[in-house]
Amino acid sequence: MADVLTDAMRKAEHEMVVCNACRYCEAYCPVFQAMEERVTFQPADLTYLANLCHNCGECLYACQYAPPHEFNIDVPRTLSRVRVESYESLAWPSFASIAFRRPWSATCAALAAGALTLAPVARAFMARATNKPAAFYDVIPHDVMVTLFGVIGLFVFAAIAIGHRRFAGGANPGDSRATHKGLRHGRLVSRQRAVRDALTLKHLHATGEDCVDAEEQRRPWRRWLHHCTFYGFALCFASTAVAAIYHSVFGWIAPYAYTSVPVVLGTAGGLGLVVGPAGLLVLDLHRDAALTDASERSLGFAFLTMLLLTSVTGLLLLVFRGSPYMPALLVVHLAIVLALFVTFPYGKFVHGIYRGAALLKFRREESV
């Protein structure tokens, strides 16, 4: 990871020094508790703190040093900027980090690439077929689908794993392996706590109340919509996994009945992925711009749009799978899913990876 101090990091360092001398925000969230464990703030520390921050916004409105005060403290926005910079510097391969600076271009390029890959396949395959396509695999052959998504999936997994490793390595320099039994148990407990923190979004309501949209406006929507998005995504993933088992183990070929497990899971997940991202888009458009760096807002908007496109086209495909529009819808849906996949390591998706790693590090530091 880059050790250069960027302007944002310099600002974050200044802010952490001021915050560390004040400490009135201590009870808001782990960022301030982790900060108090430190006297100096190296780039690795700032990257860790930035990814630990859930951007709840409380500390900005509470701060007597917020603009127009000459100390110019805006922790949520500064850490938001540092966070995006950390996504860039952790990205593998490094040239792909440009996607974080131009999220819409990256999204459009990925969509075009997806369409340009799938459309010709569909056209060539359907041209050879004699009867009208009835099943998905009459449009895109199963083997093509599996190969394409398998290869891309492996690449995406590798890219994310490398980023994660870079983050964890930078955040835990000299972290030795646990050999002692008690230590190992402690690590297990830390991990369980971190997983619970992540799955419940604990730090969006760490003080017992929800995070702010604006001054003194605490509403639960951001948390619930994120839950819809996250668990919607998880259900869709589960649906695909079940379908893969149906296909490879039992030899049952899609499409499956409306009451089948993959379709029920996929429908529920798809609905979550409509409600969640659409709601978050609306919320974020109305959220105080002082809370988030513009670069992170764009990343969020691009990612939410892609999730929304995925779920909407998926549900449309479900409804119109028996109609003549099916082949076109299938190609569009798969192209979007492909683009979503490819951009996972180069967009807002990575926040989950680094946030999770930061939460784990926080719980580990806490248990020491």
Partner 1 sequence: MHTTPTDVLTDAYPEDEFMADLLRVTGGATDQTLARMMIRASADLPRRMNRFGVRFQPSIRGTLHLARTNAFFLGGGKALMNSAYAAAERSDVRIVYEADVVGLCIRDGRFESAEVKTPHGTEAITARTVVLAAGGFESNLEWLAEIWGDAANNFIVRGTPYNTGTVLRLMLDAGAEPVGDPSQCHAVAIDARAPKFDGGIVTRLDSVPLGIVVNKHGDRFYDEGEDYWPKRYAIWGRLVAQQPDQIAYSIVDSKAIGRFMPSVFPPIVADSIRELASTLGVPAGTLAATIERFNAAVRPGTFDHQTLDDCRTEGLIPNKTHWAQRLDTPPFHAYPLRPGITFTYLGVKVDERARVVLNGGLAENIFAAGEIMAGNILGRGYVAGVGMTIGTVFGEIAGRESRDTAARHARHG
Question: What residue type is 59 in one-letter code?
Answer: C
Nearest approach in angstroms of CB 70 to partner 1 is 6
Confirm or reject binding of residue 48 to partner 1 (CB under 8 A). no
CB neighbours of residue 305 within 10 Å: 16
Number of residues that bind partner 1 (CB under 8 A): 27
Strand-pair partners of 218: 212
Closest to 357 in 3D by CA, of 158, 218, 171, 187? 171
One of 5, 44, 62, 238 touching partner 1 (CB under 8 A): 62
CB 139 within 8 A of CB 331: yes
Q: Rule CB under 8 A: is residue 28 a binding residue for partner 1?
A: yes
367 binds partner 1 (CB under 8 A): no
Give the residue, chosen from 3, 24, 108, 199, that forms a contact with partner 1 under the rule CB under 8 A: 24
Whole-number minimum distance, CB 71 to partner 1, in Å? 8
Name the strand (E) or helix (H) holding 265. Answer: helix 261-286
Which of 280, 261, 294, 173 lies closest to 221, judged by CA? 280
User: Of 10, 69, 184, 286, which lies in the binding site for partner 1, with binding defined by CB under 8 A?
Assistant: 69
> What does residue 297 show for φ and ψ, rounded to 5 degrees?
-60, -45
Please tell me whether residue 10 binds partner 1 under the rule CB under 8 A.
Answer: no
Among 10, 23, 132, 286, binds partner 1 (CB under 8 A): 23
Nearest to 169 by CA among 178, 161, 181: 161
The reply on whether position 17 binds partner 1 by CB under 8 A is yes
Identify the residue among 134, 147, 215, 319 touching partner 1 (CB under 8 A).
215
Regarding 65 and contact with partner 1 (CB under 8 A), the answer is yes
Question: Which amino acid would we find at residue 279?
Answer: G
* Residue 20 in the binding site for partner 1 (CB under 8 A): yes
The token pair that represents 172 in the structure block: 């835990």
Tell me the closest approach of the beta carbon of residue 20 to partner 1, in angstroms: 5
Residue from 3, 27, 120, 285 touching partner 1 (CB under 8 A): that is: 27
Out of 3, 7, 10, 36, name the contact with partner 1 by CB under 8 A. 36
Say whether residue 216 binds partner 1 (CB under 8 A): yes
Contact between 79 and 57 under an 8 Å Cβ cutoff? The reply is no
Which residues from 122-161 bind partner 1, rule CB under 8 A?
Answer: none
Residues in 172-211 at the binding interface with partner 1, rule: CB under 8 A: 207, 209
The Cβ of residue 182 has, within 10 Å, a number of other Cβ atoms equal to: 8
Residue 39 contacts partner 1 per CB under 8 A: yes
Helix, strand counts (H, E) of the chain: 14, 2
Peptide bond into 43 cis (omega under 30): no
Residues in contact with partner 1 by CB under 8 A are 17-18, 20-28, 36, 39, 58-59, 61-65, 69-71, 207, 209, 215-216
